[in-house]
Chains A and B, each alone.
Chain A
Amino acid sequence: MPTAVLDLELTKIPEKIEGLNNYTHAFILIRLKGTALGKKVLPVYNGRLNRKEIKDQLIEAAGWPLWEHWLSDYLDLERSLKELVLPSATVAVCTRDRPDDVKRCLESLMKLPDDGQEMIIIDNCPSTDRTFHIVQEYPRVKYIREDRPGSSAARNRALKEASHEIVAFTDDDAAPETGWLRALLRNFDDPRVLCVTGQVMPLKLDNKAQEWFELYIPLGRGFQKMIYDGVSHNRFNVARIGVSANMALRKNIGSCIGNFDEDLGVGTPARCGEDHELFSRILAAGYKIVYEPQAVNWHRHRSTWRELRQTLFNYGIGVYAFWTRSLVVEGELGVMKLPFMWFFYEQLPNLMKSILKRPNSIPFDLLWMELAGCLAGPWFYLASRRRMKGAYRKPHQSGDVI
């Protein structure tokens, strides 16, 4: 059931939305005066949507945040006495052999309002120089080549090379919208915030693989702004915080609590999990992470079933690799109970529902791949450490560099 992805502004819904003949459903991002409020999936008949039919449903789906925002706008409550001065930013995109995605990403970066941000592309172990040539067409963008493998190494290079205070990361297959950078930057007002994560919306939902991805591990984390304070939030409860496809960090996070762990991440045997690991360290040191739902970027989900299975396998490896790393490097015995909690409270019920073929259960092979990834995780992490020839990574001494 292919689903069209639409971005509708409630005050400006067109009378009829045409051209949806190939789709059976529409995934609608609901906005009011530019603010993203909610999402809804509606059925599409005869290839069109009528405003009269859908408007009420969208208002219902947006719920209370819609009225809160409406009130705020109507009474002009957002006008604050303090003029917020946004910090200077560098936008960094880490990429490897995906020139088409890079092109789309750069196109949307060009549409960001010019606040003096610097833009850099880190090309990680490229096998061709197509990316290099594409970047040449955009004079505002700086090209840097990083030959140490792994997305963590690439991001750490971005942190090193950036010349502004905040580094905003977006993945090469995720295209940010125009308000993205400003939405991220306005949360750095509080000096204790080291990281701001944004919301990731799907670019296309044309086939089953993409829809299941969105359903099972959606990259977006809801429309409510969340502040995770390390003082009160458990450091291992990081799954809901955000994803590295859309985040911003302070450049001097390295001297504060250390950079990304280069044994984890895409491109290493440990596959992913470097973002969870960084969030965990930020919380452990008592700093804050903010999830900003208004910083939206549009991610191209994998379109074949095989890639989806591989993604879930990698996800399982990544989570267990992160836990293994915390145990081995930081001596966190608290990780021991996490696999059991996850298994008994989430993975096992999902498996049972799938085996018994309950309605809306997640396909069994996806769950199985994730579980297989989990079992393999610790070994892959240790292999990654050996391969990276990493000297024993001492836990980084935190400093006050705010």
Chain B
Amino acid sequence: MNTDLPVVSVIIPTHNRCSSLKRLLQSLEKQTYSLENLEIIVVADGCDDDTLQMLDTYKAPYRMNFIAQRGQGAAAARNKGVEFAKGSLLIFLDDDTEPSEGLVEAHRLAHDNNQNSVVIGYLPPKLNITSSFFHNNLRAWWYEKFYRMSLPEHRFTYEDLLSGNFSLPRMLFNKIGGFNAIFPCREDYELGARLIKSGIDFYFVKDAMAYHRDTVTDLDRSLVRKREEGRGDVMFGRCHQDLIFQLNLSHFGDAISWRRKTLLNLVFRFPGLFDGIAFGLRSLLQFFEHFRMRGHWQRLYNRLLMYWYIRGLRDEFHNYHAFLNFLEDNRIQKSTKRNKLIIDLKKGLLEAEKSLDLNRPDSLFLCWAGIPVGYLSYQPGAERIRSPHLRYVLKTTFAYRLIQSMAIDLAYHEGEHRVDDARDIIKVKFQGMNYGEDKAI
């Protein structure tokens, strides 16, 4: 290993968060990973507070470089940081995170075990305010997201790439083209979509933990952000037409009631008026929360979120008709060749799993001794099928159909070539199902 070049580069985009950034840099000093192989690159994106002075005078035991640029957004900042990075492994951290001591080591280890993949770290929230409805929901959302990712049967999608704490090899980042800087938000999902589509595997590593010390996110900011998400989703749809119907904006297309359509038309035409109404309703939220009217609060909050999302759509399309055309133009997708695998479960699950891990198909057809059990169709934006997905799907979605197929197979073998009603078969044959001594009931 060439000791002159760092092995790991940590890229931190920052914008006017001097004290958070300082706390982050200080906790990076305590990493268990050897600091001489570590390089930190901070990209100060349009900072007009003390950030630059602080970085200038900061004495670090690891290599640290910082770049100042005028405000161009986090995506552009990260791309810039990578240009200056020399390590072979890139770790992206947001400036409001507080990493644990083993973070870099955990990322490094995960990449040693899985070459050429993306590792997503654990980023549990540490919110300051903790007893408001909004913050309870926010905390629950974060924890639920990470819990799902930690389950072995989780099927990764482009939405799992969270830019606050993730890592990938520098060569992979450059090959995929880095972040798309035109996105105001959703730039992480967009990168995730490109990575997933090129067949790169995602891994979730719980040991690569950093606390997300979020003091800024609150209800108002979430509404503003929702508007940006509306715009981001439109841009996302333009870049990835095959994923349009997975986005929220597809719910505002033609298949809605005429009442809703009229309302949407009006919102597109008179945004100022509706903005005023939305601000008024926002104060109603506080009233609901004060009187602990949780159900009403939740419903109103969801409606407000939807409103601001639509406003974001309006920022991109100036009338509703143009938006509908956008959806319509992309409704019919060009079909591309997909990798489909057919598995006979009677030959054994271990065989099936080996076959899955070898082929990594996009879609899967399951049968039992030739009798169909189920079909896992192609899911755009999701990773290719792996063996843990099979067991989970057999336990849940396809359990009943699998048992049906097993019963039909048994009936066939016992000489009944005409299968009249699978239910009768199940009732009668199950009672005597005898697949070996210890399996009999």
Judge whether B334 is part of the interface by a CB distance below 8 angstroms: no
Contact with B along A372-402 (1 / 0, CB 8 A): 0000000000000000000000010111101
Judge whether B177 is part of the interface by a CB distance below 8 angstroms: no
- Docked Cα-Cα span, A395 to B130, in Å, equals 12
Residues on B with C-beta less than 8 A from A332 are 292
In the complex, which of the residues A81, A398, A400 contacts B125, with contact meaning CB atoms closer than 8 Å?
A400
In the complex, which of the residues A67, A284, A399 contacts B130, with contact meaning CB atoms closer than 8 Å?
A399
Least CB distance from B289 to A in Å reads: 11
* A334 & B292 in contact (Cβ 8 Å cutoff): yes
Judge whether B240 is part of the interface by a CB distance below 8 angstroms: no
Judge whether A127 is part of the interface by a CB distance below 8 angstroms: no
Contact with B along A330-346 (1 / 0, CB 8 A): 11111000000000000
Residues on A with C-beta less than 8 A from B349 are 75-77
* A81 & B388 in contact (Cβ 8 Å cutoff): yes
* Residues of chain B from 108 to 154 with CB closer than 8 A to chain A in the complex: 124-127, 130-131, 136-137, 139-141, 143-144, 147, 150-153
Residues on B with C-beta less than 8 A from A402 are 124, 143
* Residues of chain A from 314 to 334 with CB closer than 8 A to chain B in the complex: 330-334
Residues on B with C-beta less than 8 A from A235 are 294
Judge whether A70 is part of the interface by a CB distance below 8 angstroms: yes
* A234 & B295 in contact (Cβ 8 Å cutoff): yes
Least CB distance from B119 to A in Å reads: 17
Quick one: given A72-B395, A334-B292, are A398 and B130 in contact (CB under 8 Å)?
yes
How many of chain A's residues touch chain B, expressed as a range?
35 or more
Residues on B with C-beta less than 8 A from A398 are 130-131, 136
Judge whether B430 is part of the interface by a CB distance below 8 angstroms: yes
Main secondary structure of the interface of A (DSSP, over half): loop
In the complex, which of the residues B125, B126, B140, B441 contacts A230, with contact meaning CB atoms closer than 8 Å?
B140
Contact with A along B292-304 (1 / 0, CB 8 A): 1111000000000
Residues on B with C-beta less than 8 A from A56 are 431
* B391 & A333 in contact (Cβ 8 Å cutoff): no
- Docked Cα-Cα span, A82 to B392, in Å, equals 13
Judge whether B439 is part of the interface by a CB distance below 8 angstroms: yes
Residues on A with C-beta less than 8 A from B403 are 67, 71
- Docked Cα-Cα span, A80 to B353, in Å, equals 13
A sample of 25 cross-chain residue pairs with beta-carbon separation below 8 angstroms, ordered by A number, consists of A56-B431, A71-B394, A77-B349, A77-B394, A77-B395, A79-B391, A81-B152, A81-B388, A82-B151, A190-B143, A191-B143, A192-B140, A192-B147, A230-B136, A230-B140, A231-B140, A286-B139, A286-B140, A334-B293, A334-B294, A395-B131, A399-B130, A400-B130, A400-B139, A402-B124
List 15 other contacts, CB 8 Å, given A80-B388, A334-B292, A397-B130.
A10-B441, A32-B441, A59-B431, A71-B395, A71-B402, A75-B349, A77-B394, A80-B391, A82-B150, A191-B147, A192-B140, A286-B136, A286-B137, A399-B130, A400-B125
Using a CB–CB distance below 8 Å, which chain B residues touch chain A? 124-127, 130-131, 136-137, 139-141, 143-144, 147, 150-153, 291-295, 345, 349, 388, 391, 394-395, 399-400, 402-403, 430-431, 435, 439-441
